[in-house]
Chain A
Amino acid sequence: MFLNTVITFLYYVLSAFIAFIILRNIIKTKSAQEAVLYCIMIIPFVLRVLRLK
């Protein structure tokens, strides 16, 4: 069970990290299509970090 807790914690850290990378890509990209795509991609990661879904 301790290992489960550690993995769960790491999962949230990873989710936050990926959300951050996506946000960074939204800012950096020069393609409008990619920006829209990243904006859709980021939604589940943020909802996970906030423990809403």
Chain B
Amino acid sequence: MLNKKTLVAIKMVSICLSVIVMALSGIDFYKHRNYKEPVVVSEYVTQVRKLSDYFADLKDTINDCNIYIFEGSEPGGTVLLIGGTHPEEPGANLTAELIVENLRVKKGKVIIAIRANRSASTVTRPGDAYPQFYHIETPWGVKKFRMGDRWSNPLDSWPDPEVYVHYPSGQLLAYMDIRNFNRTWPGKKDGTITEKTNYAFMQLIEKEKVDLFIDLHEAELEYPVISTIVSHQRGVDIAAMTSMILSSTEFKIGMEYSPKELHGLSHREVGDHSRAISLLYESPEPFLDRVRGITDEKLLLTGKDPFVMKAGQFGLLYEKIDENGWPIDVRVGRHVSTFLTTLEMWNEFYPDLTIDVEGVPRYKEVITKGVGYYFRNPSEVPKNRVFDE
């Protein structure tokens, strides 16, 4: 039996340690949630708006993201490209940012959101050992990015329902998918913050007369929808031609039809509820595989994992993997080349709605120079070209 003095001493020490752990972890969570990523927009950007300009309910919320608009000197079609639907898929937001920092539009209009669901980029999965940040080497130093999660931050959207009933289809989905930005399309005006964000993007699509919508993703190798373009039925010609051209010139990529009865996903709902043709790109990200080994920033950026490789040897994967892994440069390179080839095909099919762009590197260039080569130094440009994500 402890005497009273010893017990009090143990309690005091325990409380002090508890407060220290609370402070350290609290500071970590706070810093991650409030970290700002500087983006140097290309000198050819014509407007930088906020998503709340299209739906005022989002004003001053965490999801009031930047909307970068590039207009050519000649009229043409309009494409909307979004990254950051699932912020645990960094190839998507890095691709969107690379394009924003380098793009020049000669004809038509390109609209880009780098962090479409900002809320999901302010939380990770500590229980799954996710890193809070990742770092990309650039010619001027190291650029730091927030790692995120698949779902919006529960701090912004809580409680989840027992079962998520998708609006407007009524389809039943897993409870947490009410916070999954790619299960809540076309959104709901008076819904959760995730549904309101989808609704705001639908308003943007309508008001900006978007013709083509592209949603960037990455997928685990255990998942059959990988290294592919998923297309709404109105976009299959463009998607199939893009797939064929890329597979014969740069890298293998498939093409799949968006299932008509699977609701909430962008490739289905944007096409069904707007005039825009909707496509979704997937590149391989071994970090997301459940059979992965050590879960850290190295795996996130190199895509090298012996356990995922072993799964491949047993034929359990839908994409090849070897000792070279799937580095971030390859994944981003695939996305930018797929984007550029999609636009080329678009121009073939819709010559009256041409979207002519330049300044964006292709697959081989991104792999040779690295994705970081294309990010500009925020301290070397005028402040009016720097925006926070």
| A interface list, Cβ under 8 A from B | 1, 4, 7-8, 11, 26-27, 30, 32, 35-36, 39-40, 42-43, 46-47, 50-53
* 6 cross-chain CB contacts under 8 A: A1-B190, A4-B159, A35-B7, A39-B15, A40-B18, A53-B25
Interface status of B21 (Cβ within 8 A of chain A): yes
- Which of B316-362 touch A at CB < 8 Å? none
**CB distance B30 to A39 under 8 Å?**
no
- Residues of chain B within 8 A (CB-CB) of A42 are 18
Please report the C-alpha to C-alpha distance between residue A50 and residue B22 in the assembled complex, in whole angstroms: 11
Q: Which chain A residue shows the least CB distance to B9?
A: A32
| B interface list, Cβ under 8 A from A | 2, 6-7, 10-11, 14-15, 17-18, 21-22, 25-26, 29-30, 155, 158-159, 190-192
CB contact between A30 and one of B7, B21, B29 (< 8 Å): that residue:
B7
- Interface of chain A: mostly helix, strand, loop or mixed: helix
- Residues of chain B within 8 A (CB-CB) of A36 are 10, 14
CB contact between A52 and one of B11, B17, B29 (< 8 Å): that residue:
B29
Given A1-B191, A36-B10: A51 in contact with B17 (beta carbons within 8 A): no
Given A26-B11, A32-B10: A8 in contact with B2 (beta carbons within 8 A): no
Q: Which chain B residue shows the least CB distance to A4?
A: B159
Please report the C-alpha to C-alpha distance between residue A19 and residue B15 in the assembled complex, in whole angstroms: 13
- Residues of chain A within 8 A (CB-CB) of B11 are 26-27, 32, 35
Q: Which chain B residue shows the least CB distance to A23?
A: B15
- Residues of chain A within 8 A (CB-CB) of B14 are 26, 35-36, 39
User: In the complex, how many angstroms separate the beta carbon of B21 from the nearest chain A beta carbon?
Assistant: 6
- Residues of chain B within 8 A (CB-CB) of A11 are 158-159
User: In the complex, how many angstroms separate the beta carbon of A38 from the nearest chain B beta carbon?
Assistant: 8
Q: Which chain B residue shows the least CB distance to A38?
A: B14
**CB distance A51 to B155 under 8 Å?**
yes
- Residues of chain A within 8 A (CB-CB) of B29 are 47, 52-53
**CB distance B25 to A47 under 8 Å?**
yes
- Residues of chain B within 8 A (CB-CB) of A39 are 14-15, 17-18
- Residues of chain B within 8 A (CB-CB) of A4 are 158-159, 192
**CB distance B158 to A43 under 8 Å?**
no
Name, among A1, A32, A39, A51, the residue most crowded by chain B CB atoms within 10 Å (CB to CB).
Answer: A39
User: In the complex, how many angstroms separate the beta carbon of B278 from the nearest chain A beta carbon?
Assistant: 27
- Residues of chain B within 8 A (CB-CB) of A51 are 155
- Residues of chain A within 8 A (CB-CB) of B190 are 1
**CB distance A46 to B22 under 8 Å?**
yes
User: In the complex, how many angstroms separate the beta carbon of A13 from the nearest chain B beta carbon?
Assistant: 14
- Residues of chain A within 8 A (CB-CB) of B21 are 43
Please report the C-alpha to C-alpha distance between residue A27 and residue B356 in the assembled complex, in whole angstroms: 70
- Residues of chain A within 8 A (CB-CB) of B30 are 52
**CB distance A8 to B7 under 8 Å?**
no
- Residues of chain A within 8 A (CB-CB) of B159 are 4, 7-8, 11
